[in-house]
Amino acid sequence: MNAAEATVTKAVPGMKRAIPRVSRFGDRAFQWLTLIMAFSIFVLIVLIGFELFYGARPALEKFGWRFLVSSTWDPVNDVFGALPYIYGTVVTSAIALLIAVPLSISTAIFLTELAPLWLRQPLVIFIELLAAIPSVILGFWGFYVMVPWLHDHIYPVLRSGLGFLPFFRGSDNGPCILSAGIILSIMIIPIITSVSREILRSVPGLQREAAYALGATRWEVTRIAVLSYAKRGLFGAVILGLGRALGETMAVTMLIGNAPYVGTSVFAAGQTLASVIANEFTEATDNLYSSALFEIGLVLLGVTLVVNALARLLLLTFAGPSVKPQQ
């Protein structure tokens, strides 16, 4: 990717000279137009943030920071706290990443490095098809097919085999935090896989050739020349997937069991920030109640921003000399 960017910047001065002077007005107008478009995204985000903040003000004033650490969500008595929902959002997304990252990156490596050429295109098409399935359809499938199957065949095995861990104990419902994490992983696999594939494809062939020339095996070539070169890009792909997992609503609402929960068991029913909004906003008659739901939206926006910021920080620590792409 970096290499591609470099070629573009180099090409630009030459292109400018090639354009005849007459069209300068058109050029400027075009520049303005794209600038407005780019700006409008910024304005949109600021407006959304402001609206959420404005709507959440009564709850912000009443609960302050306690909103983030309190586990009570009681619309009848007007007491609201978001901790179980923050917990549910973070844990389901973490489970999704735990499953999806190894799967997606191995798939991407297979597709770019190992698969025979005739197999690559069909596989890519299938992965893109998976990305095109609307989340409500995945939710339906999860509700009627995946969860009952997991409940009958996989969860009992986990329970008896890994029951000594606190994660695999507790209630036996079917819809639970683990089920939601699994459906999320299915939803983010195509995103992480296609972006990773593009990243790996952009690793210059010279890297590989150099490693082969040093007598590296195929695995060593992949590890030293390809993966370490592409590390930052792959990390970016994972962050894209995480972004979707954090905000995903419909399929999660259908499979998570919708009961506020903070604890160690992945078999317990949970709830996420997005699912509580989807569940409750239609009947939120009371002012403070709907304002608390606005604040949940604000928290979700905040969690997304924090996770993205942390990811970028982590990315900076990667930037050792060995990884920096050579120009």
Partner 1 sequence: MKKNSLSITAVSALILAMLAVSCSKNSGSAAPAPSGGNPSSGQILINGAGSTLDYPAFTKWFEVYAAMDTNVQFNYQSLGSGAGQKQLLNQTVDFGASDAPMTDASMAGAPGKILHLPIVGGGVAIVYNLPGDPKLKLDGATLAEIYLGTITKWNDPKIVALNQGVNLPDLSIIPVHRSDGSGTSFIFTDYLSAVNDIWANSVKKGASVKWPAGVGIGAKGSEGVTGQVRQLPGAIGYAEVAYADQNKIPYAAIKNAAGQFVLPTPDSVSAALATATIPDDFRFSIVNAPGDKTYPIAGPSWVLIYQKQNGDRGKHLVAFLKWAITDGQKISQTLDYAPLPDALQQRELKLLDTVTY
**Binding of partner 1 at residue 21 (CB under 8 A)?**
no
Could you tell me where the DSSP H helices lie in the chain? 2-18, 24-63, 66-69, 83-109, 117-132, 135-141, 147-149, 155-162, 177-201, 205-213, 218-220, 228-247, 250-255, 273-280, 287-318
**Binding of partner 1 at residue 283 (CB under 8 A)?**
yes
H/E stretch holding 111 reads none
Q: Which is nearer to partner 1, 40 or 322 (CB)?
A: 40
Long-range contacts of 290-293, Cβ-Cβ distance < 8 Å, separation of 24 or more: 290/55, 291/55, 291/56, 291/57, 291/58, 291/59, 292/56, 292/59, 292/63, 292/67, 292/80
CB atoms < 10 A from the CB of 53, how many? 15
**Binding of partner 1 at residue 30 (CB under 8 A)?**
no
The minimum distance between CB 262 and partner 1, in angstroms, equals 10
Interacting residue with partner 1 among 130, 133, 240, 284 (CB under 8 A):
284
Taking the C-alpha atoms of residue 259 and residue 251, their distance in angstroms, rounded to an integer, is: 15
**Binding of partner 1 at residue 269 (CB under 8 A)?**
yes
**Exposure string for 59-89, b = 16+ CB within 10 A, e = fewer:** bbebbeeebeeeeebebeeeebbbbbbbbbb
**Binding of partner 1 at residue 121 (CB under 8 A)?**
no
The minimum distance between CB 137 and partner 1, in angstroms, equals 15
Q: Nearest Cα to 59, choosing from 237, 302, 311, 286? A: 286
3-state per-residue secondary structure call for 117-146:
HHHHHHHHHHHHHHHHCCHHHHHHHHHHHH
Options 9-17, 66-74, 100-108, 213-221: segment touching partner 1 (CB under 8 A) = 66-74
**Binding of partner 1 at residue 312 (CB under 8 A)?**
no
The minimum distance between CB 173 and partner 1, in angstroms, equals 5
Taking the C-alpha atoms of residue 42 and residue 30, their distance in angstroms, rounded to an integer, is: 19
The minimum distance between CB 71 and partner 1, in angstroms, equals 9
Residues between 163 and 182 with contacts to partner 1, criterion CB under 8 A? 171-175
**Binding of partner 1 at residue 324 (CB under 8 A)?**
no
The minimum distance between CB 57 and partner 1, in angstroms, equals 16
**Binding of partner 1 at residue 142 (CB under 8 A)?**
no
**Binding of partner 1 at residue 53 (CB under 8 A)?**
no
The minimum distance between CB 191 and partner 1, in angstroms, equals 25
Interacting residue with partner 1 among 3, 24, 28, 69 (CB under 8 A):
28
**Binding of partner 1 at residue 259 (CB under 8 A)?**
yes
Q: Which is nearer to partner 1, 106 or 171 (CB)?
A: 171
Taken in order 320, 321, 325, 327, is the CA torsion positive or negative? positive
The minimum distance between CB 279 and partner 1, in angstroms, equals 4
Provide the mask over 204-223, with x wherever binding to partner 1 is found by CB under 8 A and - wherever it is not.
Answer: --------------------
Residues of this chain that bind partner 1 (CB under 8 A): 28, 31-32, 35-36, 39-40, 43, 72-77, 143-144, 147-148, 151, 171-175, 253-254, 257-261, 268-269, 271, 275, 278-286, 289
